[in-house]
Structure 1
Amino acid sequence: MFAIPGSSPVTITPAAERQIARLMSGKNAYGLRIGLKKGGCAGMEYTMELAETPDANEEVIEQGEARVMIAPMAQMFLFGTEIDYQTDLLESGFKFRNPNVTDSCGCGESVRFEPIEGSRTADQPG
């Protein structure tokens, strides 16, 4: 929907690709749906869920055995994002390197975006 022809709206690192493929095969899912919801101290939180089918108007990105679906209302906020999966001594999880984020909370779980022209606020994507 917001993609540049011939270019993926998000990129997936090899580590994220392996983890998404593992999650998909473990639950026999079509792919990993990524979206945004209101919440957290900065205003918005990323959402992720395994899904059996894509919803109408979702952007579907396939890379190797991994498949990511971006919810329609999140597409403009996620354009240009790199999805990574990192593991260290204390935690492991998906990391979003999103050039559209203008602020985030200290723990990194919540983000804020600049208001889009003509919208109410960037904290209200829908």
Structure 2
Amino acid sequence: MAITMTPAAANHVAKFLESRGHGAGIRLGVRTSGCSGMAYVLEFVDEVQGEDEVFETAGVRVVIDPKSLLYLDGTELDFVKEGLNEGFKFNNPNVKNECGCGESFNI
């Protein structure tokens, strides 16, 4: 079971954590949302909880709760720039369907 980040994603998160001045890493999770059922949640985490799993890439920690890990196992977090747009991309091998707008998915 693993969550990984590309170098671009790790660098982007590291810069934000540095400018923020504190934080244990980022939390990756899922929530019920959208037309396909689930959406990704990404937020700063200041304290790791006892039940959390922690994965580290290039010194940047991704924290994930056990429930979300069931849906996200094997996911690679990437940071991409496409024209004027930039953002995180989730390469999740468990996804069966995505909605047309790309905001939600189904496993």
TM-score of the superposed pair, with normalisation by structure 1 = 0.79
Structure 1 residue ranges, 4+ long, deviating more than 3 angstroms after superposition: none
Aligned partner (choices 55, 62, 80) of residue 61 of structure 1: 55
Task: Please state how far the C-alpha of 1:62 moved relative to its aligned partner.
Answer: 1.3
Q: Distance in 2 between matches of 1:90 and 1:22?
A: 20
Aligned pair 1:104/2:93, yes or no? no
Q: In the alignment, which residue of structure 1 is the partner of 2:75?
A: 81
Deviation at 1:96, TM superposition (A): 0.5
Residue deviations 1:5-53 (CA, integer Å, cap 9, x gap): xxxx112100001011112112221100000000011110000110111
- AA matched with 1:71: D
Q: Which amino acid aligns with 2:89?
A: K
Q: Letter of the aligned partner of 1:14 in structure 2?
A: P
Greater relative contact order (Cα < 8 A, sep 6+): 2
Paired residues of 2:5 and 2:77 also in contact (CA < 8 A): yes
Matched, 1:38 2:57: no
TM-score, length basis structure 2: 0.93
Provide the aligned length of Structure 1 versus Structure 2.
106
**Percentage identity across paired residues of the two chains:** 40
Matched with 1:117 is none
Q: Does 1:19 align with 2:19?
A: no
Structure 1 or 2, whichever has the larger Rg, is 1
Cα deviation for residue 58 of structure 1 reads 1.0
Over aligned residue pairs, what C-alpha RMSD do you find?
1.0
Deviates more, 1:56-65 or 1:94-103: 56-65
Shift of 1:56: 2.1
Counterpart Cα distance in 1 of 2:59 and 2:11 = 8
5+ residue gaps, structure 2: none
Determine the structure 2 residue equivalent to 1:95. 89
